[in-house]
Structure 1
Amino acid sequence: MKRSTWLLSVVTALGLWGCSSGSSTSPGHYQYPCVTGTSQTLANPQPGQTGVPTTLGQVTIVAMGNGNTLYNTYTQWIVTLTDNTGTPWTGSPLSLVSDPSGPHPYPSDFYYASNLPMLNPGRTYQAFLSQPNASCTPVSLGQFST
């Protein structure tokens, strides 16, 4: 009896230790990705863009179409950034915006913006599409640098 209790304690401890270790640069560490029901990417700034002004003020994304989860629930999504020092930046809920001069990667483009505070100079930011009230891993949108 003592041996089985000891073994159960060891297995439980190892299981808890395995769940608590690891690291990631994405906000939220959940098993399942957030599902937008469409394709999306950064529109402004564009993926890989350098020299982005620290006073950008908002990140705009472009998504394909409006018959999807993202379009139907866009106010429940935000853009989050993680810079190369690991500092997180949280944007406001998405709003639908017009961007006629923006990129047009899809047959039917819909643009969404998330307001952000002033960014730090000389940093690289990884952008994510997140659902703050959901237990899912944010969707990577690309990166840019100031």
Structure 2
Amino acid sequence: MTATHPTHGHRTAKHGLATGMMVFAAVMLMITGILAVMRGIAAIAEDEVFVSTPNYVFAFDLTGWGWIHLALGVVAVLVSMGLFQGSGWARVIGVGIAGLVIIANFLSLPAYPVWSVVVIAMSAFIIWALCTPRRGDA
């Protein structure tokens, strides 16, 4: 019978949590990306889903917002695929993309306020999950 180190189970649990957080971040980033692509397409098509606010400080054309969300969504989906493979570059870029998604949704609050707040919260969880240290990280 071999003796086990008393913290072995704790390390395994921490490793499992960190791995689970990475998968969580990858799934959430993919969902956020797909939804951003759909939101971008809807805005580019000038769908009647969005509210037009004429006196907003950060006024952009609805089509311009659509292209911004479409581009961020495509990049988010691609980065999430890198996260599923466990790439280190994907963690760094994922945090950056989630941050840009937060900014884009903050600036487009008047066009679709409830959904913007939901996506901001999702992106904050993505950043949190990607910044959770994994076993072996310094």
Q: TM-score if structure 1 supplies the norm length?
A: 0.28
Q: TM-score if structure 2 supplies the norm length?
A: 0.30
